[in-house]
Amino acid sequence: MNYNNKKFRTVLNSDNGETSPETIFQYRQKDNILTSEYQGGQIVKGHLIGMVDKEGNIDMRYHQVNDKGELMTGVCNSRPEILSNGKIRLHETWQWTSGNKSSGKSIIEEI
């Protein structure tokens, strides 16, 4: 699976997460290395870097500055699902490595 030049939007997130439907992710991929810049909603600016396996699963690390001026960091594992319209939905399990170090789940979909 290749995520290069695909855009994603958050459709569901745990209450302790910071992304929202206003958050847009622009994915870039070269070989199995994935990067993204994202922003919107509570996120002023964010970046992620990850590795994509043969099934399209992503193991990533992220950092972002929120609208409170806080630098937040975390880890995330994403599992892809191909929707009937051919778009990708990512089921994510994540954990903050800063702040309260809580964990959560989110879903983002290709737009």
pLDDT, one tens digit per residue, over 8-42 is: 999 999 999 999 999 999 999 999 999 999 999 99
pLDDT at 1: 85
Are 10 and 20 in contact by the 8 Å Cβ rule? The answer is yes
**Would you list the DSSP string of 15-62?**
TT----TT-EEEEEEETTEEEEEEEETTEEEEEEEEEE-TTS-EEEEE
**What pTM was estimated for this model as a whole?**
0.93
**65-84 as b/e, with b when 16 or more CB fall inside 10 Å?**
bbeeeeebebebebebeeee
